[in-house]
Each structure stands twice: as structure tokens, then as C-alpha cells.
Amino acid sequence: MLNKLFYVWRLIATGWCFITFSVGGLLLALFVFPVINLIDVFSPNAQLKHHRAQAVIHYSFKFFLWQMVILGIMRMNVEGMAKLNNNNAKLILANHPTLVDVVLLISLLKRTNCVVKKSLFKDPFLKGAVKAAGYINNDGTEAIIDECAEALKAGDNLVIFPEGTRSVPGKALSFQRGAAHIATRSGAEVVPVTITCDPPTLTKAHKWYHIPSRPFCLTAEVGDPLDISEIVMSDEPATLTSRRLTRYLRDYFTKRLDQFGIIRARA
């Protein structure tokens, strides 16, 4: 009986958290980001406004995750955080098992940019936040690579999911080449973060209300910076380099997930 009551509680709490996420984004757009713009009204530096908004979102995401932990929905574990502390202009590459992966990563660092899907720029609850933070619109054009490289050169950390979308449970990782192009063009240090969720939830195969039988544990393991110097060669076409680097990144994350006990079918 207690287990059933706790399940119902977690289901209600999960719905509450998703409501607060959307409503919180709207409230930030209506009341907080206009204040930031007012403070910097005479500043020609648009990047400064973006950084202030990114910091607001960082703390908001920390609160959101803390809320989920306090309500008994999840546990959270971050390993190797010291590898990210006080660092800027890092290209943070991560696998993408759950809906809250980007929330987790942005909650770790104040000055963080990311690529977001085009639809969020029209979402009535979240468009104000993504525009204020200067997040990069994934509109499918080649300009995304240049925008990402510029954000890194401006000192932003940049979160990228090489899969482009959430992983499909039980299937081999499938990486797009965008992350490799960004890494080679920007020359930024590449920091891998392996994310696991036990038991699986909020995946591409789960609706938000398909909660597991117990609180899930979301773990992020920050790895050592990747040495891609032997992969990135200046005397060959970029397409060959990006293809080889993409394969390297896919193999890296596949091995890490295997070590965590998440065995996937090989492509």
C-alpha cells in the first residue's frame, strides 16, 4: 500500500514539476529578463545580456532539479565536477538518454550556451528564455556551425548532444557530424560527459507520466578532455576529418556506457 501511495505521489509530483518548468520559463520572460535588459539598456555588449540570462537559467535549473530530488522523484549524482569548475569555452559533448539532460548540464555551469530545436523559439512558455540567453537555433542551416564556434570563442561553454535527439533505448548510438564540425572549426577543448539514468525514464519511448516503479538516479560522469589532435588533420578535407571524429566520439560513448552496464546493440 505504501509503495502504491508513493507511486501516486511521484506521478503527481512529476506533473507538478513539468508545470513549474513551463510556467517558470514564462515568468522569467515576463519579469526577470526585461529587468536584465533594462539594466544593460545603455550597454552595446549583447553578449553581456546573454551571460546574465544564462546565469539566471543556470540557477533556475538547479532549483528545478533540487525540487525533483526533494519531492522524491529522482536522485542525482555528478562525478568529476572538478574538471568543469572555473572553466569557460569548453565544448561539452554528452549522450542524450533523457528529457532533462540539458537541464542537468546547464545547472552545472553558469555561462553555458546550447543548441535548441527550432520549435522552442515559438513556444509561448520558453521562447523568452531561449532568446534572452542567446541560445543557438537549430534551424538546419550551415550557419549553426559558425554560430557555435563564435559562442566558444566568446568564452561560452557550449553543450552539444552529438546524437541530435534522445537515444533510442536498446539501440546503438547514432551520432550526427555537427559536433565534429564544431570541434574542428572552433579548436575548443572537448570535454565528454556520460549520462546514465537508472531505471530508464523520460526517454524517447516514455511519456512524462510513464514513471518508473522507484525514484530514478540521474548520473553524469565528466570525463577527461579528449585529445583529438591525432584525428583532426589540417591537410585533408573537412568531411573526412568530421567522419573520423564522429566515429571516434560514438565509440567513446559506447564504451563508457558499456562500462556502466548499459550494453547496446552494435551497428
Residue range 35-90, pLDDT digits in tens: 988 877 766 677 888 999 999 999 999 999 999 999 999 999 999 999 887 678 99
SS3 content of the chain, % helix, strand, coil (to 5): 45, 15, 35
* 265 inside domain: no
- The CATH number that applies at residue 250 is 3.40.1130
- Rounded to whole angstroms, the Cα distance separating 164 from 267 reads 17
Asked if pLDDT for residue 264 goes beyond 60, the answer is no
- Rounded to whole angstroms, the Cα distance separating 159 from 161 reads 7
Instruction: Say what angle helices 178-186 and 238-259 make with each other, to 10 degrees.
Output: 110
* 35 inside domain: yes
Percentage of the chain exceeding pLDDT 70: 96
Q: How far is CA 176 from CA 115, 199, 238, 239, in A?
A: 14, 26, 14, 12
* 264 inside domain: no
Percentage of the chain exceeding pLDDT 90: 75
* 267 inside domain: no
- Rounded to whole angstroms, the Cα distance separating 192 from 225 reads 7
pLDDT tens readout for residues 126-180: 999 999 999 999 988 889 999 999 999 888 999 999 999 999 888 899 999 999 9
| Residue range 260-264: mean pLDDT, rounded | 71
Given a contact cutoff of 8 angstroms between Cβ atoms, the answer to whether 72 and 5 are in contact is no
Angle (CA) 117-106-179 rounded to 5° is 55
Residue listed under C-alpha cell 535549473: 61
Domain count, the chain: 1
* 266 inside domain: no
- Rounded to whole angstroms, the Cα distance separating 250 from 136 reads 23
pLDDT-based confidence at residue 263 (cuts at 50, 70, 90): low
Boundaries of domain holding 22: 2-259
pLDDT-based confidence at residue 231 (cuts at 50, 70, 90): confident
pLDDT tens readout for residues 77-127: 999 999 887 678 999 999 999 999 999 999 999 899 999 999 999 999 999
* 33 inside domain: yes
Q: Which residues contact 56 (CB under 8 A, 6 or more apart)?
A: 28, 32, 33, 36
pLDDT of residue 267: 41
Q: What is the mean pLDDT of the chain?
A: 91
| Residue range 15-32: mean pLDDT, rounded | 96
Asked if pLDDT for residue 266 goes beyond 60, the answer is no
* 15 inside domain: yes
pLDDT of residue 86: 67
The residue among 60, 68, 34, 30 whose CA lies nearest residue 49 is: 34
Q: What are phi and psi of 224, to 5 degrees?
A: -70, 150
What SS3 state is found at 241? Answer: helix
